[in-house]
């Protein structure tokens, strides 16, 4: 199995029923002394699988947001109310 780290998406295309997502990484450019985007690889899948793939990504994002909200509420000081 190949693992690819991606900083983002460079392009998305659909051709002949295949979704192609070109991933990109930010890599150091010694000449310009900065970061520049370069292709990291292409994720390809049949278009009929896109719905389930997207659903899985949305579920993951929702879990991350729930976790983030739980962490924020733990860090927020509780206000004391007088009775």
pLDDT at 49: 97
Q: What is the CATH number of domain 8-73?
A: 3.10.450
Q: What is the pLDDT of residues 50-65, one digit of tens each?
A: 999 999 999 999 999 9
DSSP track, 25-71: EEEEETTTTEEEEEEEEEEEEEGGGHHHHHHHHHHHHHHHHHHHHHH
* Residues of the chain predicted below pLDDT 50: none
Structure tokens, 19: 């979704």
pLDDT at 78: 67
């Amino acid at each position: 199995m190949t693992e690819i780290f991606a900083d983002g998406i460079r392009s998305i295309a659909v051709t002949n029923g295949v979704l192609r997502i070109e991933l990109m990484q930010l890599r150091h450019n010694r000449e310009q002394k900065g970061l520049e985007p370069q292709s990291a690889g292409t994720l390809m899948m049949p278009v009929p699988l896109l719905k389930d793939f997207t659903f899985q990504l949305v579920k993951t994002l929702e879990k991350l947001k729930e976790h983030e909200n739980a962490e924020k509420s733990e860090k927020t000081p509780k206000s004391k109310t007088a009775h």
